[in-house]
Amino acid sequence: MALPTSYSLKSGHRIPAIGLGTWQSKPNEVRDAVCAALQAGYRHIDAAAVYGNEKEVGEGIKLSGVPREEIFLTSKLWNTHHEPEHVEEGLEQTLRDLQVDYLDLYLIHWPVSFRYSATTTQPVNPETGLVDVIDVPTKDTWAAMEKLVEKGKVRSIGVSNFTRKRIEELLTTARIPPAVNQIEAHPYLQQRDLLEWSKQQGIVITAYSPLGNNIYNLPRAVDDPTVIQIAKELGKTPAQVLISWAIQRGTSVVPKSVTPERIRSNLEVFVLPEHAFERIQALDRHQRVNFPVRMGVDVFGEVGEETARQRAVEWARQQKMLAILAVNVTQPILWLMYFLNFLDRNAMVNGKLNNLSKDLHLHGTQYSTCVSILFVGWAYLS
């Protein structure tokens, strides 16, 4: 038995089992990563408007030399463009950035709508400090997505981060059923019930973050001792083990990497022995990493709407405090830098205070380093 290389979609098209994810890939890295992936044999590139790197993804596709018709290209409609009159606008910007005429798959990125904005992905309500969420029925957004298929600008449409309940509601009015639901799925968050139900409906599950994700300093599945031990026993890498497990359970996957060697290595999938497969199955702990706190909406029906809103309020409060702290801490440091540099320059000119920097244990490069660390820390916390 061999693992499938692609899955059939309800639209009549096929989606490759493995794609390159571009979430959290920096613009200056993703172009070369996309190029390397396509040249290594990948035929699915997963992008999104909100990732902020679609122009570079398009450049990577062009640089690879792989014909457009050989590539399965996915992107996602961002929350600011859910109102029907803005759906096609969102797609057109993506097509321009990617330098293509059509998408193979277009997904509603989240089942949450933001106030329309052509300039920011996070329109914040100045009174609450929260992202400005508006009420747009998913069926209305979906109807506009269906028109994109009719116009030939998109071949298949689907959703992302949708629960079974949300999809069931959508199916009551949809003329074109969703072909794909892209969700967070890895050994720590297996979502078995949703996967099995989706198979019954003919909806393909694409797993993002199939290796786990440490954006909130949570442990990653790829670093799990059991996974590492299985990889050692089988002579594979932990990433190869998890990607193979994901495909073996019936999902397509979009692991992210910007390292050419890892990009190539992630294609080397294999059938896991039953004992290894079951050991990974036993790792499920419902550890969700990508919970959109700032939205203030119980997207996954897990915490309750009030709790979700309170989390968002707390998040907004923390952001405000961090901003105030950054100003209050940064300004004195900048003034100190200015003062020390002023003294240091006078010392050089007068020849009397040549050892000032040594006495203060601070050199010019160290001044910059201190401030750089402050800004990096602030950016990380925010």
What is the DSSP code string of 270-300? Answer: -PPPHHHHHHHHTT---------GGG-S-TT
Predicted confidence band of residue 66 (pLDDT cuts 50, 70, 90): very high
Q: Is the pLDDT of residue 125 over 60?
A: yes
What pLDDT is stored for residue 358 in this prediction?
44
51 catalytic residue (yes or no): yes
pLDDT tens-digit series, residues 173-231:
999 999 999 999 999 999 999 999 999 999 999 999 999 988 778 899 999 999 999 99
8 Å CB contact between 48 and 55: no
pLDDT for the residue 360:
43
pLDDT at residue 126 in the model: 79
Q: Which of 162-176, 259-273, 281-295 has the lowest mean pLDDT?
A: 281-295
How does DSSP classify residue 208?
A: E
pLDDT of residue 372: 56
The whole-number average pLDDT for the span 239-250 is 99
Is the predicted pLDDT of residue 235 greater than 70, yes or no? yes
Q: What is the dihedral of CA 40, 45, 50, 54, to 10 degrees?
A: 70
Q: What is the pLDDT of residue 355?
A: 46
Note the pLDDT of residue 349: 45
Across 26-52, average pLDDT: 95
| pLDDT of 278 | 99
Q: How far apart are CA 98 and CA 239, in angstroms?
A: 28
Check residue 31 and give its pLDDT.
Answer: 96
In our burial notation (b when 16+ CB lie closer than 10 A, e otherwise), range 5-39 reads ebbebbbeebbbbbbbbbbebeeebbbbbbbbbbb
* pLDDT for 296: 81
pLDDT reported for residue 309: 73
pLDDT-derived band of residue 341, with 50, 70 and 90 as boundaries?
Answer: low
Catalytic residue among 7, 51, 208, 367: 51
pTM of the prediction?
A: 0.83
Q: Can you say how many angstroms the Cα of residue 228 is from the centroid of all Cα atoms in its chain?
A: 24
- Match 């290389």 to its residue by tokens: 5
Residue scoring higher pLDDT (292 or 120): 120
90-94, 148-152, 307-311, 370-374, range with the lowest pLDDT: 370-374
- Distance (Å, rounded) from C-alpha 205 to C-alpha 185? 9
Whole-number Å distance between alpha carbons of 166 and 111: 8
| Lookup result for tokens 């078995």 | 192
pLDDT at 334 > cutoff 70: no
Say whether 44 sits in a helix, a strand or coil. Answer: strand
Tell me which residue has tokens 């010019």: 364
CA 123 to chain centre: 19
What is the average pLDDT score of the chain?
A: 88
Task: Give whole-number Cα distances, 314 to 192, 319, 322, in Å.
Answer: 32, 9, 12
- Given CA atoms 222, 244, 5, 167 in this order, what sign does their dihedral have? negative
Which stretch of 65-74, 113-122, 152-161 has the lowest confidence by average pLDDT?
113-122
